[in-house]
Amino acid sequence: MAEKSPVVIDLKFGRASVTDALRNAFVGRDVVDMALPENAGRDLSGIPYAVVWKPDPQLFARARDLKVIFSGGAGVDHILSAYELPDLPVVRFVDRSLTDRMSEWVVLQALAHLRRVPAYAVQQRARVWHEIDPQPEARDVTVGIMGLGVLGQDAARKLKVMGFNVIGWSRTAKTIDGIETFDAAGLDAFLGRTDILVGLLPLTPDTRGIYDARLFARLRQGGALGKPVFINAGRGGSQVEADVVAALEKGVLGGASLDVFGREPLSPESPLWGMENVIVTPHAAAASDVRALFAHAEEQIERFESGMSLQHVVDRKAGY
Mind telling me the catalytic residues?
235, 283
> DSSP letters of 47-61?
--EEEEES--TTHHH
When CB distances to ligand NDP are compared, the closest residue is 149
Task: Give the whole-angstrom CA distance, residue 306 versus residue 259.
Answer: 39
Task: Give the whole-angstrom CA distance, residue 173 versus residue 175.
Answer: 7
262 binds ligand NDP (CB under 6 A): no
The SS3 assignment for 267 reads: coil
- Among 109, 181, 194, 207, indicate the residue that binds ligand NDP (CB under 6 A): 207
- Phi then psi for residue 239, to 5 deg, are -110, 140
Write each residue from 181 to 220 as x if it is in contact with ligand OXD (CB under 6 A), else as -, in one continuous string. ----------------------------------------
- Phi then psi for residue 176, to 5 deg, are -130, 125
34 with 57: CB under 8 angstroms?
A: no
Least distance from C-beta 194 to ligand OXD, angstroms?
23
User: Judged by CB, which is closer to ligand OXD: 189, or 287?
Assistant: 287
User: Judged by CB, which is closer to ligand NDP: 140, or 212?
Assistant: 212
Write each residue from 259 to 298 as x if it is in contact with ligand OXD (CB under 6 A), else as -, in one continuous string. ---------------------------xxx----------
6 binds ligand NDP (CB under 6 A): no
Distance of CA 119 to CAs 124, 144, 159, 172, 276, Å? 9, 23, 22, 38, 7
Site residues (CB under 6 A) for ligand NDP?
73-75, 98, 102, 147-152, 170-172, 184, 200-204, 206-207, 233-235, 259-260, 283, 285-286, 320
